[in-house]
Structure 1
Amino acid sequence: MSKYQENILLLKPKARSKTRILLGKKYYTYKRYLSWFLGNNKYSNEKVEEAFRYTCASHKTPLYRKLKDVDMWYQYNKVINLKLAIQKLNKVVVKPNETFSYWKLIGKPTKRKGYVDGMVLFSGGFKPGVGGGLCQLSNLIYWMTLHTPLTVIERYRHSYDIFPDSKRTQPFGSGATCVYNYRDLQIYNNTNDTYQLNLKITDNELIGEWKTNTKPYCTYEVYEKEHIITQEYWGDYFRHNIIYRKCIDQNGELLEDEYIAENHAIMMYQPFLSDGSN
């Protein structure tokens, strides 16, 4: 059995009771709290208001997308939630040997804090949920981090591919899903430099940067391999790929070409299958 096949069998949808789901969430939530407060990691929590000198990586994504069968109020509410989360993350610095934890910095999204219902992906579909839409922010931070020397030590892929590609500019599977608090995005600074996260929202875009005071010595190119679509014996279509990145020095020389992550997701729409005649 291939590695792909092993992963697909693990992803095959399983029917679980509401009680099982609730108990599972509670278990992993409190397990995370214990790791935050009793573990050995030193978590970043300091902010520096003055912008660092050099931009190591930057990215921006549109705030509003027209999605099939999705009301636009989800998008408007998402922006409210993003603005609140950005207040917790903007200007945060990650010093050498510190770990950035997405959820430890943001905290639990609640109505009391001003968070509203947004889109929450769930079991191949979506539903309203308080704080919904924050995956756009974790996706952006993860993608930027892949273009820096920082090390992603915890990231979760999306198990379902819900919406067809629309003006996609990044490889499939280059995001990081987030669920408070057990599906976290954690980034470790294994360098000698301090990094600063800068985030802002304009009328139409979410914009981010990783900055440092030391001039970057290389650039990164993130790309995919083995992007394929398969249909499994129980009927579902799966989308697969492997993410790699190249590290290139200032002279254009390749320093490293490394494996980053492997992605497998159940497609919730019919793929376009070409017979190759066009």
Structure 2
Amino acid sequence: MTKNKHRKYKFIIPILLLIPIIYIMSVYNQVKAYDTVLAHNIWVNHFDIGGMTPEEASEYLSQNLISTLDSKTITLTTENTTSTVDITYKELGVTYNLDEILSEAIQIGHEGNLFERYKSLKNPSVEPLHFTLAPNLDSSNLQERVESYLEPFYKAPVNAEIKKHPRSFEITPEVPGYKADLDFAVTQIQELIAQSEEGTIYLPLITLEPEYTSDILQDYKTPLASFYTTFTADSPDRNTNITLAAQKINTTLQPGEKFMFSKQLEPITIDAGYKNAKVITGGEFVDGIGGGICQVSSTLYNAVIMTDLDIYMRRNHSLPVSYTPLGRDATYATNSVDFQFINNSGYPLYVESYIEDNKVFVNLYGHKDFKPDYTAQFESELVETLEAPEPLYKDDPTLPPGKEIIKSHAKEGHKIVLYKLYYKNGELIKKEKINTSTYKPQRAVILRGPQPQSSEASSIAADSKPQ
């Protein structure tokens, strides 16, 4: 009996020792499984996520809660327009603190040692634990994001416009614009989202003033300079050319733009309306298409030099002309000589020209700030006289033998320096050289009849006659 009794206890003792080990292993396995899920009775907003893994809870809340929040809409409108814009939370780039909540929630009921965690598993809190999902806005690009939705509440201002008509200006009034108050929109959107609310925001409109108003453009009508030259009525074709050229130089120059006489007048052809009239070629007056247009370029030149505009290209005629003093003419020849100046006023410049009472008028208009604050006078100084060459004789068989007629008289040439004199309050304050012009001398042209034969030549001629 004794031997059998000892044998019985030999098996019972190891079994008893295994019981706590088995229990501990069971607790461990249960806690290990429990550690991967959230504690019971945990809520986010109105959604129970207890017993879910963080991944399951994230997917569940994304589908059922965040999708609802993302679709929340904020409406933008104004009291002055019928336009409305709806923006969802998702379009605004709203994010949520879901990861932060789940990171905190997974700690609940999982603190302490193995048996403390096992106790939490078996005896979950009867009080629900509530978390609130909070929306967040990235403020770094919020203004740009909101601004992209404000286009329906934008109207660009329209500048006043000025147009030059013959002898007058026409000013079209400006129209103010408006835009939504971006800062107000951003602030109101932030407040609604912070409360997870939808709503309508009535945006105030900010008036946008045009850059150019009618009052400002009045300053652009300021007369800067005016000049005229006179022509006679005895050359209808020349006068036609003058009239056509005067019409063509009416233009508006923008700041920095170059005026080119050639660009305004070309092509100078019969088809373009020009006539044949006297032009200076090779030091002589001959017929040519467009004769007379240089009177317009010279008139314009005289108006320009009364201001501070930059002369870019100018050449005098080879011979003096009657309609301007020496040194104050500006010639033109297709593809070779041009008159050009640059609008350096910083404002639009208006060139006006017209014909009236056998006069060519040129008026320059611009901004009042470019109007000269001085009175200009001009002085042509003769610096050199150029002698005429020897006369040129041309035989004319229609004249009696030995008869001579002066077709054109010899004329001296001149080298002229033109000065601009600046006066203020009647006092000369500056004298400035404007140009140097050289006018060629002209030789006399003499027509002569056949030379009379000598008496000896006549006798030989008589002896040689047939008998």
Q: TM-score range by the shorter chain?
A: 0.5 to 0.7
Please report how far the alpha carbon of residue 113 of structure 1 lies from its aligned counterpart in structure 2 after TM superposition. Answer: 1.3
Partner of 1:4: none
Query: Residues 232, 124 of structure 1: CA spacing in aligned structure 2 closer, same or farther, 3 A cutoff?
Result: closer
Q: Determine if contact 2:421/2:431 at 8 Å carries over to the other structure.
A: yes
Higher relative contact order (CA 8 A, sep 6+): 1
Q: Determine if contact 2:386/2:413 at 8 Å carries over to the other structure.
A: yes
The sequence identity of aligned pairs, in percent, is 25
Counterpart of 2:228 (choices 56, 60, 70) is: 60
Q: Which runs of 5+ in 1 are unaligned?
A: 1-46, 66-71, 271-278
Partner of 1:220: 376
Partner of 1:150: 309
Does residue 244 (structure 1) correspond to residue 419 (structure 2)? The answer is: yes
Please report how far the alpha carbon of residue 228 of structure 1 lies from its aligned counterpart in structure 2 after TM superposition. Answer: 4.2
**How far apart are the structure 2 equivalents of 1:267 and 1:211?**
38
**How far apart are the structure 2 equivalents of 1:243 and 1:186?**
18
Partner of 1:7: none
Greater radius of gyration (CA): 2
**How far apart are the structure 2 equivalents of 1:233 and 1:64?**
31
Partner of 2:274: 115
Partner of 1:8: none
Does residue 48 (structure 1) correspond to residue 164 (structure 2)? The answer is: yes
Larger deviation: 151-160 or 234-243?
234-243
Please report how far the alpha carbon of residue 227 of structure 1 lies from its aligned counterpart in structure 2 after TM superposition. Answer: 4.5
Q: Determine if contact 1:101/1:187 at 8 Å carries over to the other structure.
A: yes
Does residue 129 (structure 1) correspond to residue 283 (structure 2)? The answer is: no
Deviations 1:161-181 (A, max 9, x none): 3x6x6xx7x531210111113
Deviations 1:212-251 (A, max 9, x none): 23152223222122344232787883212101112334x4
**How far apart are the structure 1 equivalents of 2:365 and 2:414?**
34
What is the letter of the counterpart of residue 85 of structure 1?
A
Cα RMSD (Å): 2.6
What is the letter of the counterpart of residue 315 of structure 2?
Y
Q: Determine if contact 1:196/1:210 at 8 Å carries over to the other structure.
A: yes
Partner of 1:17: none
Deviations 1:170-200 (A, max 9, x none): 5312101111132110001222232211111
**How far apart are the structure 2 equivalents of 1:190 and 1:142?**
16
**How far apart are the structure 1 equivalents of 2:316 and 2:438?**
8
**How far apart are the structure 1 equivalents of 2:329 and 2:164?**
27
Does residue 179 (structure 1) correspond to residue 295 (structure 2)? The answer is: no
Q: Determine if contact 1:94/1:195 at 8 Å carries over to the other structure.
A: yes
Indicate the structure with greater helix content.
2
Please report how far the alpha carbon of residue 94 of structure 1 lies from its aligned counterpart in structure 2 after TM superposition. Answer: 2.0
Larger deviation: 227-236 or 53-62?
227-236
Partner of 1:262: 436
**How far apart are the structure 2 equivalents of 1:106 and 1:185?**
11
Please report how far the alpha carbon of residue 201 of structure 1 lies from its aligned counterpart in structure 2 after TM superposition. Answer: 0.6
**How far apart are the structure 1 equivalents of 2:375 and 2:441?**
33
Partner of 2:263: 104
**How far apart are the structure 2 equivalents of 1:116 and 1:233?**
33
TM value normalised by structure 1: 0.67
Q: Determine if contact 2:383/2:417 at 8 Å carries over to the other structure.
A: yes
Q: Which runs of 5+ in 2 are unaligned?
A: 1-162, 170-219, 392-410, 445-467
Query: Residues 220, 203 of structure 1: CA spacing in aligned structure 2 closer, same or farther, 3 A cutoff?
Result: closer
Please report how far the alpha carbon of residue 155 of structure 1 lies from its aligned counterpart in structure 2 after TM superposition. Answer: 0.4
**How far apart are the structure 2 equivalents of 1:95 and 1:213?**
12
Deviations 1:71-123 (A, max 9, x none): x4xx2111111222222212x12222111000111111111111111111111
Q: Determine if contact 2:386/2:440 at 8 Å carries over to the other structure.
A: no
